Chain A
Amino acid sequence: MKILYQIAIIFFLCLMGEIVSALLPFPFPSAIAAMLLLLAALFSGILRIDHIKEKSDFLLSNMAFFFIPAGVKVIEHFDTISSIWWQFLLISILSTVLVFLITAGTVSLVMRFEERKEK
């Protein structure tokens, strides 16, 4: 029963997220709306982590698995991809490396700046 309640809580939040996303005047992903609602529920004390712990741990620890079907859909777009596949791959990989380094660099820099200010 415990897991059942936890599933109900999380799915209810997702449903609320879809309602919020439909009401907003600009396109906003419902999953993120649900996440912000959960964050608000946790901070306000309406929900405690142990209310949803097992179900959340299940979702978080198997995160990558849930991406499988979305990627398999690529089968449908082999034609579009075949003429530009190496540019597509190169942009995807190169930008990831650069964004990784730029983010890490920015964070390190700002933190060093903050530490110096504290001293």
Chain B
Amino acid sequence: MMETVFASPFFGITLSIAAYSIGCWINRKTKLALLNPLLISYLIIIPLLLVTGIPLEWYDNGGDIINMFLSPATAVLAITIYRQRDLLKKHILSVTAGSLAGSLSSILIVLTLSKLFGLSDEITMSLIPKSITTPMAIAVSQNLGGIESLTVLSVIITGITGSIIGPVLIKAFRIRNEIASGMAFGSASHAVGTSKAIELGEVQGALSSIALVMSGIITVILSLLLF
């Protein structure tokens, strides 16, 4: 009976949507950036699975179906870019420079800090693609010999950090240029940061999607060249 209920794909999907709805609701009510919907979802789902002893494989029967949508969700980012093609054409130089600076600095900072903390090669390589969107990060991590789920974890921490800290940094450093802040969201914190940038405005959202794509591609190329 337990298995019939909890191993059904409907369980994982319903639980995820319920947790996410609660996350969105709390986030809307409190208006606190730290109470990010994604973060709240994890704080609901992970302890729930651990306490009840429902195996991850059961949850994943539904989870895998949600996972399948990562690829289409990434693909339709093309629309955001297409809608802003004039903006992209106009700022192609600063967009390219920003993505290149962001990708390169992300890799160098991770390498430096990992060395400083004496982390193993396996963990360092898992952290290298942390600034780019999940499907691309997984590809880079596999290529470099990292641990896939550690990469996913780091990518998600990065995304949540970006969407929480981004607006704070914009205020603290008085980044009034919407193109610069949009680029920063996408290049530092991929799609999760982009969802925050979309909330801030259409220009930020568009530049953030452009940056997430450009940084992703640049990071893939850099990882092929550097390692």
Contact with A along B108-140 (1 / 0, CB 8 A): 011001100101000100010011011110110
Contact with A along B83-113 (1 / 0, CB 8 A): 1010000010111011101100110011001
Query: A70 vs B66: C-alpha distance in the bound complex, in angstroms?
Result: 9
B95, B133, B149, B159, most chain A CB atoms within 10 A: B149
Is there contact, CB below 8 Å, between A32 and B105? no
Closest B residue, CB atoms, query A93: B161
Is there contact, CB below 8 Å, between B38 and A67? yes
Known contacts A66-B66, A67-B38, A103-B101; A108/B139 CB under 8 A: no
Interface size on A, residues (CB 8 A): 70
Kindly list chain B residues whose C-beta atoms are within 8 Å of the C-beta of A66.
Answer: 66-67, 69-70, 73
Kindly list chain B residues whose C-beta atoms are within 8 Å of the C-beta of A56.
Answer: 76, 79
Is there contact, CB below 8 Å, between A94 and B66? no
Query: A105 vs B2: C-alpha distance in the bound complex, in angstroms?
Result: 54
A102 to chain B, nearest CB (A): 5
Is there contact, CB below 8 Å, between A35 and B136? no
A19 at the interface (CB under 8 A from B): no
Query: A70 vs B56: C-alpha distance in the bound complex, in angstroms?
Result: 11
Query: SS class of chain A's interface: helix, strand, loop or mixed?
Result: helix
A1 at the interface (CB under 8 A from B): no
B167 to chain A, nearest CB (A): 11
Is there contact, CB below 8 Å, between B73 and A60? yes
B80 to chain A, nearest CB (A): 7
Residue of A80, A81, A88, A100 near B185 (CB, 8 A) is: A100
Residue of A10, A11, A52, A107 near B183 (CB, 8 A) is: A107
Query: A118 vs B55: C-alpha distance in the bound complex, in angstroms?
Result: 61
Kindly list chain B residues whose C-beta atoms are within 8 Å of the C-beta of A59.
Answer: 69, 72-73, 76
A11, A27, A56, A92, most chain B CB atoms within 10 A: A92
B213 to chain A, nearest CB (A): 7
Query: A73 vs B49: C-alpha distance in the bound complex, in angstroms?
Result: 11
B192 to chain A, nearest CB (A): 6
Closest A residue, CB atoms, query B130: A92
> Could you jot down 11 A-B contacts, CB within 8 Å?
A32-B136, A42-B78, A42-B82, A49-B82, A59-B72, A60-B76, A69-B59, A76-B56, A92-B157, A94-B113, A97-B161
